[in-house]
């Protein structure tokens, strides 16, 4: 079974630009979560989508947004990029149901975003 | 406010010995806990989980212990192998209500020396 894929793997952008990151979950998984990882901060939760609906949102500004398509693929958009947005952005998928095993999330390799 | 804490940023052990990674949490609503391992340039990989109705879960060389009264869990790796060298993240979730968010600790870098 193919794992979670993320594109692109690396990205360099300039302050003020916007960026769109893509995530394809494991087949059959309907939940997609996004995390930001920076040195010293661990994994910070951005948002989670299930069946095209945002179910949870972390404490990030409105410049960070996302969406999920009918095939469960998800995109994350960051507008008006700031230097502090430089990070590894990780996508994770899971079944997303009510069973506790649904909380076992499977991560993609991440997109390394550098803002200059 | 960090609800999941891994107070040891790094840990070094000898091959063949036991590695013990610790995690503390403050939110008493957390009832499901997970451990992930992360190699450089890769996403975290799910290792093992435990529900709050248990105090121990074992999978091969990996065992997780949960002490609910102390709000503490630990991951034991026995015997440790050089390939176990990675960053280990502890995560917690409140499975009640409509919260599907995992809260992660900042990670512990484990180095297993040959």
| Closest to A55 in 3D by CA, of B95, B97, B92, B99 | B99
CB contact under 8 A, A109 and B43: yes
Q: What is the pLDDT of residue B97?
A: 63
CATH architecture, domain B4-113: Sandwich (2.60)
> Given A50, A56, A90, which is nearest B43 (Cβ)?
A90
Specify the 3-state DSSP secondary structure of B29. Answer: coil
Residue A95 has a pLDDT of: 87
Distance (Å, whole) CA A1 – CA A53 = 25
pLDDT of residue B98 exceeding 70: no
- Vertex B12 angle, CA B9 and B15, to 5°: 145
Residues 6+ apart with CB under 8 A from A97: none
Residue predicted with more confidence, B30 or B96:
B30
CA distance B46 to B62: 12
The mean of the pLDDT values for chain B is 93
Which whole-number Å values give the CA distances from B109 to A42, A75, A88, A89, B90, in the listed order?
A: 12, 30, 17, 20, 12
Higher pLDDT, B7 or B2: B7
Average pLDDT of the residues in A63-73? 96
Q: How far is B101 from chain A (nearest CA, A)?
A: 7
Residues of B in contact with A48 (CB under 8 A): 100-101
Beta strands in chain B (DSSP E): 4-5, 10-14, 19-25, 32-38, 45-51, 56-59, 62-67, 72-77, 86-93, 103-104, 108-113
Distance CA A42, CA A24 (A): 23
Domain boundaries, chain B: 4-113
Is the pLDDT reported for residue B99 higher than 80? no
Q: Is pLDDT of A98 > 80?
A: no
Q: Averaged over B29-41, what is the pLDDT? A: 92
């Amino acid at each position: 079974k193919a794992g979670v894929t993320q594109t692109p793997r690396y990205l360099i952008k300039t302050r003020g630009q916007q960026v769109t990151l893509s995530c394809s979950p494991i087949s059959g998984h309907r939940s997609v979560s996004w995390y930001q990882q920076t040195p010293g901060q661990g994994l910070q939760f951005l948002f989670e989508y299930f069946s095209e609906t945002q179910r949870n949102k972390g404490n990030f500004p409105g410049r960070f947004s996302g969406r999920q398509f009918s095939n469960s693929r998800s995109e994350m958009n960051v507008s008006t990029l700031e230097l502090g947005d430089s990070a590894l952005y990780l996508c994770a998928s899971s079944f997303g149901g009510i069973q506790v095993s649904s909380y076992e999330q499977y991560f993609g390799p991440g997109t390394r975003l550098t803002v200059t | 406010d960090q609800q999941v804490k891994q107070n040891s940023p790094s840990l070094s052990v000898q091959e063949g010995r036991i590695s013990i990674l610790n995690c503390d949490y403050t939110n008493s609503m957390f009832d499901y806990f997970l451990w992930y391992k992360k190699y450089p340039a890769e996403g975290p990989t799910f290792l093992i989980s435990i529900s709050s109705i248990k105090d121990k879960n074992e999978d091969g060389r990996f065992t997780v212990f949960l002490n609910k009264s102390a709000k503490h869990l630990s991951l034991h790796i026995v015997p440790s192998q050089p390939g176990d060298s990675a960053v280990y993240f502890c995560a917690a979730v409140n499975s009640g209500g409509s919260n599907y968010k995992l809260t992660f600790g900042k990670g512990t870098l484990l180095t297993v020396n040959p």
